[in-house]
Amino acid sequence: MHPLISTDDLTELLDHDPPPVLLDVRWSLLGPPGRADYDEAHLPGAVFVDLDTELAGSREGGGRHPLPEAADLEGVLRRAGVDQDRPVVAYDAGDGSAAARAWWLLRWAGHRDVAVLDGGYSAWTGRGMPVTTVEPDPRPGGFRVRPGSMPVADAGGAADLSRRGVLLDARAQPRYRGEQEPVDARAGHIPGAVSAPFAEQTDSAGNWRSPSELAARFAELGVRSDSAVGAYCGSGVTACSVVLALEHAGVTGTEQPATLYAGSWSDWCSEPERPVATGADPG
C-alpha cells in the first residue's frame, strides 16, 4: 500500500470484506488529549489510539516519546483489531504528522499494508463523509509485532548521519535556530542537521504535496538518491512524517527507508556534553 490514501480510495476500501482497521490518532503536542475529539465524532469503525500512552513507551530515557516495548505495542494493536493480512489506515486531525507515528510503528513492527489518510479528519468531513459517536468493539486481532523493519538511530547514529549523509530536522525553524524551545531543556539543533519543517510537506488545508513537489524540496535540502538520510524532531513523532514524505516522494523506498532518530531532540539535549548548534546554518 502507498503510504498515503485519499478519502475516495478509503471509501472504496471500506466496502471490502473485511474493511481496513481504522486508527484515530488525533493528538497535539501541547494538548488537550485527542480522546475528547474522538468522543465528539470519528470515522465509523475507527478505534482511538492514544499517542502519548499507547504509541510511546514509559521507560526512562530515550526522549519524551521513546519507542514502546514490543509486547505493549502488540497488545494495543491487537485490541484495535489489527491482523497481519488486513490493511490499516491511520488518521489525525489533518496534516498526518501524528498519524505518521502509527504508520511508522506499524511498519517498524513488520506490517506492510498501512497508510495515512491524506488530509485526515478534516478532509473526510470536508467531503461530507459520515462520522459517528459510536465506539466500536472490534474482534481482537492476531498481529505479531516483530521490531526492526524500519531503521532506527540513537544519538551516536544521528551524529554520524549528520556527517556522512543528510539529517533532517522536522521542527519549526525558530526551534531549529534556537530562538525558542517550548518543551525541552536546551534550544538549538544537532550540529550538521538541515532544517526541514514537517509543516511544509502539506498545504494550508493539511493535504500532502505531490511527490514531485516533495522530491524537489528534498533535493533543495541536499538529499540525493544515494544519500544516507535520517530525520528527527522534538520527540520522535513528527519526524515520522518526514520518513513518510521521503517515501511518498520516491526519494526512499520500502526496502531502504529513511532512518528515524527515535529519541530526537528531547534525547539529544538531555546530555549536557552533546554539542548544540544555533542559527540558520547546519553548523
The residues annotated with a catalytic role in the active site are 233
Hey, CA dihedral for 17, 45, 137, 59, is it positive or negative? positive
**Starting from the edge strand earliest in sequence, which strands make up the sheet with 152-153, in order?**
152-153, 259-261, 229-232, 166-169, 194-195
Contact between 233 and 265 (Cβ < 8 Å)? yes
CA–CA dist 51, 41 (Å, integer): 18
CA–CA dist 99, 232 (Å, integer): 16
All three cell numbers of 267, joined, read: 534525547
What backbone torsions phi and psi does residue 212 show, to the nearest 5 degrees? -70, -40
Amino acid occupying residue 213: E
